């Protein structure tokens, strides 16, 4: 067997850098894809590769330096063997290119969560603190997110030796193929847990219920959201926590309708109140307020009470608009009817009350 240093054209004092450089140069030169017509190329390339595999590994190199031989490669190491992989694969390996999405060591930020919260108009007007309960993936309290049972630590995956990948090389009639797959023992993580945490089964995160107090400022409206920084799910591999967004929904109110920061309501009044003027109770969020309506109020006239609307989150407060609905009486007694007819006469109105239908007359007689 040829000396590994001779194969790479180096002497035994070569540095790791020199070994790597020599291998790159020779691999390019002797790769079977390049020397297609040379039947020896495959053998030569294997030799170069073998020499590199030993000399680039400090432990195996020192074994080789001492004993002039190394123990046979394990099955796991065979997977690292470049075999007769394609030219591009060699370059990808050495120039550190890795397919997108393969950066398995990168920290991952926790997922943002959404919580829909319905509040009353009164709560929206005054501001309120509400307790909410959420369930989220949290850092496992048993292993503190490491995924390892207490007293044990993750170990380098023996199958892929920490690379997270496995390479399969195959030679067929159509040429040689190299396939890179995710390591099936560690799932690409590069580490395995001999003793995974029992609570989170090694994931480092576990679903936990959490009660949070949400402070809702006054003046909020439907569609607004509050962000609770860091109250989303726990990150992975040291990634920061996600956020929790509380989406607010202000429930419809039986009395008030909201228009921006103003409130609108309706107040029924009688024709005599409208004609003579009166003092009426106007409902507000702070309780009823007495308000005068002038004589001669028309249907749908609006009474405005300034500063009794919704608070503006930026300061100030909207107004309250009460629309006056004049109710025309429908249940007149004979006396009331007579007085109204007299009123009409006094006002010079020629009122012609509708004649009662025959059927109504019969109904009256039967009563
Ligand atoms: Zn755990
Ligand atoms: Zn692995």
pLDDT, position 232: 94
In which band, very low, low, confident or very high, does the pLDDT at 79 lie, cut at 50, 70 and 90?
A: very low
**275, 327 in Cβ contact below 8 A?**
no
Q: Looking at residue 321, what is its pLDDT?
A: 97
pLDDT, tens digit (0-9, with 9 covering 90-100), for 116-133: 999 999 999 999 999 999
Ligand 2 centre distance from Cα of residue 124 (Å)? 54
For residue 93, the model assigns a pLDDT of 41
> In this structure, which ligand is nearest to the CA of 207?
1
pLDDT tens track for 293-348: 999 999 999 999 999 999 987 889 999 999 999 999 998 999 999 999 999 999 99
Q: Are 189 and 203 in contact (CB under 8 A)?
A: no
CB contact at 8 A, 93 and 23: no
Residue 231 pLDDT class (50, 70, 90 cuts): very high
- 182 CA to centre of ligand 2 in angstroms: 8
Q: State the distance from the centre of ligand 1 to the C-alpha of 315, rounded, in angstroms.
A: 47
Lowest mean per-residue pLDDT among 60-74, 163-177, 339-353: 60-74
- Could you tell me the distance, in angstroms and rounded to a whole number, from the CA of residue 107 to the centre of ligand 1? 18
64 Cα to the center of ligand 2, angstroms: 26
Residue 134 near residue 244 (C-beta atoms within 8 A): yes
The angle, 0 to 180 degrees and rounded to 10, between the axes of the packed helices 16-30 and 87-94 is: 160
Instruction: Please tell me the distance between residue 238's alpha carbon and the centre of ligand 1 in angstroms.
Output: 14
Residue appearing with tokens 């609108």: 264
**Cα–Cα distance list, 309 to 24, 110, 120, 122, 279 (Å):** 77, 40, 15, 11, 21
Of 230, 316, 322, which Cα lies nearest the Cα of 269?
322
- The CATH architecture that domain 257-327 belongs to is Sandwich (2.60)
Which of the pair, 20 or 365, is modelled with greater confidence?
Answer: 20
The architecture of the domain spanning 4-72 is Orthogonal Bundle (1.10)
Per residue, what are the HEC states of 182-217? Answer: ECCCCCCCCEECCCECCCCCCCCEEEEEEEEEEEEC
pLDDT in the model for residue 356: 63
Give, to the nearest 10 degrees, the angle between helix 41-55 and helix 58-67.
100
Q: What is the pLDDT of residue 277?
A: 96
Pick the more confident residue, 56 or 278: 278
pLDDT higher than 60, residue 89: no
Q: What is the mean pLDDT of the chain?
A: 83
Place of tokens 């190394």: 70
Domain residue ranges in the chain: 4-72, 105-141+205-252, 257-327, 334-366
Predicted confidence band at 183 (pLDDT cuts at 50, 70, 90)? confident
More confident of the two residues 65 and 338: 338
Confidence of residue 80 (pLDDT cuts 50, 70, 90): very low
Among 147, 5, 47, 28, CA closest to 91: 28
Residue 358: its pLDDT value, please? 65
Q: Same CATH topology for 4-72 and 257-327?
A: no
Looking at domain 105-141+205-252, its CATH architecture is Sandwich (2.60)
pLDDT at 230: 94
Identify the band that residue 242 occupies on the pLDDT scale cut at 50, 70 and 90.
Answer: very high
Q: What percentage of the chain exceeds 90 in pLDDT? A: 45
Looking at the CA of 156, name the nearest ligand.
2
What is the pLDDT at residue 367? 65
Neighbours of 77 (CB within 10 A): 13
The ligand placed nearest to the CA atom of residue 189 is 2
Q: What are phi and psi of 42, to 5 degrees?
A: -60, -45
What per-residue confidence (pLDDT) applies to 1? Answer: 62
Query: Is residue 92's pLDDT more than 60?
Result: no
Ligand 2 mean position, distance from CA 186 (Å): 4
Statement: residue 73 has pLDDT above 70: no
What pLDDT does residue 107 have?
80
Q: What is the pLDDT of residues 21-38, one digit of tens each?
A: 888 888 877 776 666 677
Residues with CB under 5 A from ligand 1 (ion): 140, 142-143, 197, 199-200
Whole-number Å distance, alpha carbon 23 to ligand 2 midpoint, is 25
Q: How far is the CA of 147 from the CAs of 108, 141, 328, in angstroms?
A: 15, 10, 76
Contact criterion met (CB below 8 Å) for 240 and 118: no
Give the residue with greater pLDDT, 1 vs 113.
Answer: 113
SS (H, E, C) the chain: CCCHHHHCCCCCCCCHHHHHHHHHHHHHHHCCCCCCCCCCHHHHHHHHHHHHHHHCCHHHHHHHHHHCCCCCCCHHHHHHCCCCCCHHHHHHHHCCCCCCCCCCCCCECCCCEEEEEEECHHHHHHCEEEEEEEEEEEECCCCCCCCECCCCCCEECCCCCCCCEEEEEEEECCEEEEEEEECCCCCCCCEECCCECCCCCCCCEEEEEEEEEEEECCCCCCCCEEEECCCCCCCECCCCCCCEEEEEEECCCCCCEEECCEEEEEEEEEHHHHHHCEEEEECCCCCCEEEEECCCCCCCCEEEECCCCCECCCCCECCEEEEEEEECCCCCCHHHHHHHHHHHHHCCCCCCCCCCCHHHHHHHHHC
Span from the CA of 215 to the centroid of ligand 2 (angstroms): 47
CA torsion, ordered 52, 3, 41, 81, to nearest 10 deg: -30
Ligand 1 centre to CA of 237 (Å) is 13
Q: Considering only residues 355 and 259, tell me which one the structure prediction assigns the higher pLDDT.
A: 259
């Amino acid at each position: 067997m040829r000396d590994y240093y001779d194969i790479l054209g180096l002497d035994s004092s070569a540095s790791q850098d020199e070994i790597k450089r020599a291998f790159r140069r020779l691999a390019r030169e002797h790769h079977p894809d390049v020397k297609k017509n040379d039947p020896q190329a495959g053998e030569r390339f294997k030799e170069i590769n073998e020499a590199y595999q030993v000399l680039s590994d400090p432990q195996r190199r020192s074994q080789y330096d001492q004993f002039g031989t190394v123990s046979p490669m394990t099955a796991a190491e065979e997977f690292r063997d470049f075999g007769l992989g394609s030219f591009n694969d060699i370059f990808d390996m050495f120039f550190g290119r890795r397919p997108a999405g393969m950066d398995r060591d990168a920290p991952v930020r926790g997922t943002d969560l959404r919580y829909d919260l319905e509040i009353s108009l009164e709560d929206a007007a005054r501001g309120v603190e509400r307790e909410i309960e959420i369930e989220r993936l949290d850092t496992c309290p048993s292993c503190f997110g490491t995924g390892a049972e207490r007293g044990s630590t993750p170990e380098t995956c023996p199958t892929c030796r920490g690379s997270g990948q496995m390479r399969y090389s195959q030679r067929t009639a159509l040429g040689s193929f190299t396939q890179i797959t995710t390591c099936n023992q560690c799932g690409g993580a590069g580490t395995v847990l001999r003793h995974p945490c029992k609570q989170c089964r090694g994931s480092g995160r576990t679903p936990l219920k959490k009660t949070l107090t949400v402070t809702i400022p006054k003046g909020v409206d439907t569609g607004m959201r509050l962000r609770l920084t860091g109250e989303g799910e726990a990150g992975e591999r040291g990634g920061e926590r996600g956020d929790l967004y509380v989406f607010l929904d202000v429930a419809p109110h039986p009395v008030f309708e909201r228009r921006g920061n103003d409130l609108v309501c309706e107040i029924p009044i009688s024709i005599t109140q409208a004609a003579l003027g009166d003092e009426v109770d106007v409902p507000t969020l702070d309780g009823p307020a007495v308000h005068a309506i002038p004589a001669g109020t028309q249907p749908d006239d609006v009474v405005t009470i300034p500063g009794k609307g919704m608070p503006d989150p930026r300061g100030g407060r909207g107004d309250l608009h009460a629309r006056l609905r004049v109710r025309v009486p429908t249940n007149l007694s004979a006396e009331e009817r007579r007085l109204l007819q007299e009123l009409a006469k006094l006002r010079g109105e020629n009122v012609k009350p509708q004649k009662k239908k025959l059927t109504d007359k019969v109904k009256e007689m039967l009563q």
